[in-house]
Every structure is written in structure tokens, then in C-alpha cells.
Amino acid sequence: MNSLISKNNAKAFLFLNGILWGSSYVWSKMLLSYLPRFTILFLSSLGGLIAIIILYFRSLSQIKTETILPSIAISFFSIISNTFFILALQYTSSFNTAFIVQLSVIITPLIIAIYEKKLPEKGVIVGAIGALIGIFLLTCDLKSFRFNPGDLLALGNAVFFSLYLASMRINSDRIEPVHFTFIQHVVSTPVYLLMSIFLKKPFTEFENLKSLQFIILISISIFVTVFTILIQSSAIRYVEAEKAVIIYTIEPIATMVLGFVFLGEKPEGFGAVAGCILIILSITVSLYKKESERRRFTDIRQQPEVYRSSQQ
């Protein structure tokens, strides 16, 4: 994957990654009619682990000991994020979940700013405020002023996805993408297995698992699981994490289109439609903002950077 992704095409690959990630909301929601929620995560992770071993067996012997602990820590952010993700899908629509996860547009720049002791650019702040208003319109029932519990679970997904993305960006220069992907699956697979056993019966009717639709869905889910992590961990080293999140604006759009085609889902009411549009416009404004130099909270001579930001 490293040989395919370079500084020149990294944003294009992240754009593709956003489409793949957006599709995962729909495939996972469809799989909920065949399998318990945590069993879906377990089978996807197990299939991804097997695929990584088959594709990159020789490379795995070169894993550096010092990268194992950081990779494990980052993996748990992903595990928690995916747990919120699969729970949210049971109580809200796939496109609602995808749009709410775009709250990471606000959270990720804040995490990076704190780590690098910088203030986010004004364009990011303006876009983030607009996105926050859009998320409110999308998730709040304006008549009763209540929030859907599934939407709140999706917010948890957004928080831990942001931590996951920021952590990957911070450690991207010292962790080999394939090695990270392998370690993440080694960690997540047994965790999801235990969750499927103790939090829900691990299996459902075996007849359901023989259907062609299930086989296609689980195969697509495994493919998306593996290649999104590979693309993400390879391309993120060339793109600032907060800008990567902005590029992922395509994710909820892909979810909305596929959700309408395969699940018949669509935004209900003016508030939901306005929220979706405002989120997209806000993030688009941030994406095409004028570059400006960031200010530090402290003098650069007192706190040198550990990692150099990628040049855009």
C-alpha cells in the first residue's frame, strides 16, 4: 500500500477511504438482520486479520517491538469507536450516524492543537461551528426538543474516532501501516469475541449464514475493514489529521446515497435536511480555506515540535 500512496495522491486515497467508510454504515446495518451486533464486529475483524496474514505474511516478522504498545493503545480507540458505531446503528439511521461522526471535524483539530500547542486556523473554527449547528438540526427533534439515543451513541463514536485519527497522525512516522493494521486486528478480534459471548449470544440461526446476501455483505465488510485501515494508516502521514477529517465529508454523503438505495432511508423533516446541507457546506468551507500560519500557545523556542507537520 505504501508503494501506491504518495504525497501527491494521499488526499485522493483519503477521499476513496471516505466513500468506503461511508458504505460500511449501510453494510453493517444490513448485517444486523443476520447477526448480533458484536458478532458482526468479531467476524469483520477476524476476516481482516486472516486477510492481513495472507497478504503480508513476510512483512509481519519485521514488526518493531517499540511500535507494539502505541499500536495497541490506538487500537483501543478504534474498538471503543466501533462499539459506539454498531450500537448507534440499532437506534438511528445509517446516514444519521455517518453525519454525526463528522463532529470529529471539531474534535480532531482540538486534539491536534493541544498536542502541538497550536491554535486551530480560523477557517477550521468557523467551519466547525457551522457543522455543530448542522449536527444539532439533524439530531434534535425540534418539536419536542429531544435527542434520539442512537444519535447520542453516534456522538460517542465521533469522539473516539477523533482520538483514533489524531493518534494515528501523531504516530504515523514511526509505525509501519501494515504492522499497525495487523496489531489492531490482533487486539480487536479477541475483544469483539468476548463482547459477542458475554454481551450477546455469539451466533444466530445458521440458515441465515448460508444465504448469498449474507456472504456478499460479510465479504464486503471485511474488505472495507482491511483496506480502509491500510489506506488510512498509509495516507495520513502526508495529510494533517484535521484536514483528513474534512476530506471525509464524502463519508456521510456516500452513506446517505447507499442508505437510500439499499435501505430506503432518507432525511425526515426540514431540520434534518437543513442539518445535512449545513454540515457539508461548513466542512467544504473549511477544506478550501486560505492557508494561514498557526499561532502557538507557547513560544516555539520553549517547546519544539516532536513531529513536523506535512506540507500541503
What is the rounded (10 degree) CA torsion for 45, 29, 79, 209?
Answer: -30
Instruction: Indicate the average pLDDT of the chain.
Output: 79
Closest to 162 (Cα-Cα) out of 226, 105, 84, 228: 105
Residue 30 Cα to chain centre, angstroms: 19
Q: pLDDT tens digit string along 13-31?
A: 888 988 998 898 999 999 8
Q: pLDDT tens digit string along 222-271?
A: 888 788 877 877 787 788 765 776 777 778 888 888 999 999 887 777 77
78 vs 165, residue with greater confidence: 78
Catalogue the long-range contacts made by 90-93 (C-beta closer than 8 Å, 24 or more residues apart).
90/32, 90/37, 90/150, 91/148, 91/149, 91/150, 91/153, 92/148, 92/150, 92/151, 92/153, 92/154, 93/259, 93/263, 93/265
Closest to 312 (Cα-Cα) out of 295, 296, 289, 284: 289
Mean pLDDT, range 104-125, rounded to an integer: 77
Q: pLDDT tens digit string along 42-101?
A: 988 998 899 889 888 888 888 888 889 999 999 999 999 999 999 999 888 888 888 888
Q: What is the reported pLDDT for 205? A: 59
Asked if residue 293 has pLDDT above 70, the reply is: no
CB under 8 Å to 25, separation ≥6 — which residues?
85, 89, 94, 95, 97, 98, 255, 259
Q: Which residue has the cell 430506503?
A: 264
